């Protein structure tokens, strides 16, 4: 259970030194900046301090990434670069713009070539279609009484065009069909030319200009068109590979430029909320106390003109980020705690207790050697296939391991209790012991929650609630006194003191909880609550009901333990019922396999949810307030480097390659 102590670190110095410090903080990944506006509240002083806006490197970094995207290559891994004269934003912007200018020129040439290739392909298709119909092109160009449209659309759209043409003065003439597209000539009366154009446009008709097509034929016949088309495609392929060649020839310089820009981008991202006073920069933020000595040593060596100030946040400070550091096993269960809420700064971190109690309760309710091994193996396969996060995989595998342990304690393998001798007890044969253990575990777990609440109140110096609250010392004594009295009553045992003593103790504790605010006046440094007696009475009444409800809720430990065994027995009984049928042995095997898979998947999920419920409602409600803000330091890498998968690369190359479309 470890919440890291946080400090504020403020640096004031020349721009180049503060940016050097920022670079080091980015690489350390343990500094969360605080906007200067939230630190300085005095309006006159704040008016003299300028703050940076958006990060100017973001757009440049995206633009530079298009170099690798155009070449179909993954982005390089950026390396930290030391600050120097070549690291100025203006210098880097000029280098990026110069690189993009070359790529832009090639891209424009590619677009022009693609359009020319499409026109030549269309001319070739039209030539073949008219040649098959023995119609010369000059007759088509000389038509004056009709407006002629030539182009292609999808086959489905061509069918819709034929249906629409029955009601309008438009005659579509199908020429050929290629790659799911229909090429056609459409003839419309001059008065309907505009309407025909809108109709074709609504069907995503790709039109080609008849004069442009005629110009293609003016320089030669079909063979000449084919030669020009092959030449254009060859030129397009060379341009297609130009970016790859450019990257191969200038890769080292481009990767250095990318690293410089990436380093500057991370520095600017850290300094976005910085304050500027003349030639001096102000940088402030949260840093773990264990990391302060390292950054102070760096500042002393590399930034001698920079003043640094560190301070522990005073009591009552809001907005302090929460950073939890635990052992790897416990770290996986931090997600379970975070599902409820992160602990507030200064609050107890329950991750260790949750890790132990979660596994114990899950194993208690799902104790089975075979099913536990299935959980461990299933989580391993799911994380390998990418369907489960590694932290959740560790939680499930640990819970499955405890299921195996309790399976040996129960002597249960796939619900069968006659294969192994129980090392502890058999749930089906010792139900009274099972119920007693469940209630005893509940009383102990609820008490632990109240003990943690007492510790928290003591740290906050709230002695009134620590001593007299229903979740404090008075509540624990009342709860245990009542629990011992009920235990003696149901087991037929005698109490070691008379009944009037029990009644008197319970009455005194109940009065202390109801008159908590009055008793607080006798404690040093405590202020009486302003709540009325009626509100305090109902608050105590709610606490007493929660004692009963929370304790009874732990009966589910016994209930789901028996439910697990009962479901397993039902699967084998159903398998025995079909064994006498034709192919009964195969049917039984199928039922047993599917039934056990259903138990592991469905009941495992239900037990997981019930365990969470016991953690959140019966345990956390006693002491945990949460509401913490996660520590979010500026990191060197925001996300993983972009890497285009192979199928995506092939798809984009196929889209860029010229074809008959």
User: What CATH number did the domain enclosing 228 receive?
Assistant: 3.30.70.2750
Q: Are residues 400 and 511 in the same domain?
A: yes
pLDDT in tens, 605-648: 999 999 999 999 999 999 998 888 899 998 887 654 434 444 33
Q: Are residues 250 and 353 in the same domain?
A: no
649 has pLDDT over 70: no
Strand segments, DSSP code E, in 258-388 are 275-277, 280-288, 307-311, 321-322
170 plus 248 within the same structural domain: yes
Give the pLDDT mean for 332-354: 89
Q: Do residues 347 and 461 share a domain?
A: yes
Whether 654 is covered by a domain: the verdict is no
**What is the per-residue pLDDT for 42?**
43
More confident residue, 123 or 407: 407
**Is residue 599 one of the residues assigned to a domain?**
yes
- Within a domain: residue 414? yes
DSSP code, position 291: G
Q: Specify whether 387 is located in the same domain as 248.
A: no
Q: ∠513-519-520 over CA atoms, to 5°?
A: 105
- Asked if the model's pLDDT at residue 210 lies above 60, the reply is yes
Strand order, beta sheet including 147-154: 170-178, 181-188, 147-154, 206-208
Domain around 132 = 56-68+83-258
Is pLDDT at 144 greater than 70 in this prediction? no
Same domain, yes or no: 358 and 226: no
Higher pLDDT among residues 439 and 176, named by residue: 439
Arithmetic mean of pLDDT, 434-441: 94
* CB atoms near residue 156 (< 10 Å): 11
Average pLDDT over residues 283-309: 91
Across all residues in the chain, what is the average pLDDT?
A: 83
248, 382: one domain:
no
pLDDT at residue number 37: 55
556 CB-near residues (< 8 Å, 6+ apart): 365, 438, 610, 614
The DSSP annotation for 185-242 comes to: EEEE-GGGHHHHHHHHHHTT-EEE-HHHHHHHHHT--HHHHHHHHHHHHHHHHHHHHH
Per DSSP bridges, beta strands 629-630 and 321-322 are parallel
Q: Is the pLDDT of residue 277 over 70?
A: no
Average pLDDT over residues 179-196: 85
In a domain, 190, yes or no: yes
> For residue 478, which of 440, 456, 522, 446 has the smallest C-alpha distance?
446
Domain boundary, last residue among 258, 284, 307: 258
Residue 149 has pLDDT above 60, yes or no: yes
Domain C-terminal end among 240, 258, 276: 258
Confidence of residue 552 (pLDDT cuts 50, 70, 90): very high
Number of domains into which the chain is organized: 2
- 428 in any annotated domain: yes
Residues 110, 227 within the same domain: yes
Q: What is the pLDDT of residue 462?
A: 85
Tokens, residue 52? 């940076």
334 and 432 in a common domain: yes
The 10 Å Cβ neighbour count of residue 658 is 20
**Domain boundary at 258, 273, 292, which?**
258
d(CA 271, CA 275): 8
- What's the sign of the alpha-carbon dihedral 215, 217, 218, 222? positive
290 is a domain residue: no
Find the mean pLDDT for residues 273-282: 69
- 496-540 pLDDT, tens digit each: 777 778 888 888 988 888 888 778 777 776 665 666 667 777 788
- Domain match, 428 and 525 both: yes
343 located within any domain: yes
Res 350: pLDDT: 92
pLDDT of 21-77, one tens digit each? 888 898 888 999 887 655 554 444 444 454 555 777 888 888 888 888 877 788 888
> What percent of the chain has a predicted confidence (pLDDT) above 70?
87
Q: Does the pLDDT of residue 651 top 50, yes or no?
A: no
Percent of the chain with pLDDT over 90: 26
Task: Say if strands 280-288 and 50-51 run parallel, antiparallel, or are unpaired.
Answer: unpaired
Residue 401 falls within a domain, yes or no? yes
The pLDDT, as a whole number, for residue 569 is 86
């Amino acid at each position: 259970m470890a919440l890291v102590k946080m400090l504020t670190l403020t640096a004031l110095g020349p721009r180049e030194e503060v940016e050097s410090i920022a670079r080091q903080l980015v690489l350390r990944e343990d500094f969360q900046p605080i906007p200067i506006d939230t630190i300085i509240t005095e309006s006159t002083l704040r008016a003299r301090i300028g703050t940076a806006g958006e990060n100017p490197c973001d757009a440049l970094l995206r633009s530079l990434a298009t170099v690798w995207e155009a070449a179909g290559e993954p982005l390089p891994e950026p390396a930290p670069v030391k600050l120097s004269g070549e690291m100025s934003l203006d210098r880097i912007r000029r280098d990026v713009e110069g690189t993009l200018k070359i790529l832009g020129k090639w891209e424009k040439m590619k677009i022009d070539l693609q359009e020319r290739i499409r026109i030549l392909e269309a001319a070739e298709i039209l030539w073949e279609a008219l040649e098959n119909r023995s119609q010369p092109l000059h007759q088509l160009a000389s038509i004056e009484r009709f407006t002629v449209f030539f182009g292609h659309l999808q086959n489905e759209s061509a069918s819709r065009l034929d249906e629409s043409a029955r009601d309008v003065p438009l005659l579509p003439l199908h020429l050929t069909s290629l790659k799911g597209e229909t090429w056609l000539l459409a003839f419309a009366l001059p008065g309907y030319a505009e309407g025909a154009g809108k109709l074709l446009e609504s069907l995503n008709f790709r039109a080609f200009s008849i004069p442009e097509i005629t110009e293609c034929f003016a320089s030669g016949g079909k063979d000449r068109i084919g030669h020009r088309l092959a030449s254009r495609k060859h030129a397009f392929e060379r341009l297609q590979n130009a970016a790859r060649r450019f990257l191969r020839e200038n890769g080292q310089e481009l990767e250095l430029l990318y690293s410089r820009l990436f380093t500057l981008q991370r520095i600017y991202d850290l300094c976005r909320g910085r304050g500027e006073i003349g030639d001096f920069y102000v940088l402030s933020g949260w840093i773990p106390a264990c990391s302060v000595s390292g950054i102070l040593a760096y500042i002393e060596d590399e930034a001698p003109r920079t003043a640094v100030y560190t301070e522990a946040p005073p009591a009552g400070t809001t907005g302090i980020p929460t950073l939890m550091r635990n052992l790897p096993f416990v770290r996986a269960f931090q997600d379970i705690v975070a599902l409820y809420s992160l602990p507030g700064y200064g609050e107890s971190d329950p991750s260790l207790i949750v890790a132990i109690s979660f596994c114990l309760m899950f194993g208690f309710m799902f104790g089975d050697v075979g099913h536990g091994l299935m959980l461990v193996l299933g989580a391993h396969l799911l994380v390998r296939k990418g369907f489960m996060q590694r932290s959740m995989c560790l939680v499930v595998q640990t819970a499955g391991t405890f299921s195996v342990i309790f399976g040996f304690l129960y002597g249960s393998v796939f619900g069968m209790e006659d294969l192994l001798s129980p090392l502890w007890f058999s749930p089906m044969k010792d139900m009274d012991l099972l119920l007693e253990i469940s209630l005893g575990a509940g009383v102990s777990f609820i008490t632990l929650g109240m003990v943690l609440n007492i510790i928290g109140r003591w740290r906050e110096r709230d002695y009134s609630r620590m001593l007299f609250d229903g979740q404090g010392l008075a509540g624990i004594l009342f709860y245990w006194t009542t629990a011992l009295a009920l235990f003696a009553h149901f087991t037929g045992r005698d109490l070691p003191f008379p009944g009037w003593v029990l009644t008197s103790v319970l009455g005194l504790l109940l009065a202390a909880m109801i008159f908590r605010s009055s008793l607080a006046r006798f404690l040093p440094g405590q202020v009486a609550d302003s709540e009325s007696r009626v509100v305090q009475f109902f608050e105590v009444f709610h606490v007493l009901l929660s004692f009963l409800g929370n304790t009874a809720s732990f009966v589910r430990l016994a209930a789901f333990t028996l439910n697990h065994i009962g479901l397993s027995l039902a699967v084998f009984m159903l398998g025995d019922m079909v064994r006498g049928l034709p192919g009964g042995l195969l049917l039984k095997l199928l039922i047993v396999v599917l039934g056990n898979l259903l138990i592991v998947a469905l009941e495992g999920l239900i037990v997981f949810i019930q365990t969470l419920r016991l953690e959140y409602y019966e345990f956390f409600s006693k002491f945990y307030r949460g509401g913490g803000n996660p520590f979010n330091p500026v990191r060197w890498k925001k996300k993983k480097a972009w890497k285009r998968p192979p199928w995506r690369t092939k798809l984009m190359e196929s889209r860029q390659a010229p074809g008959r479309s």
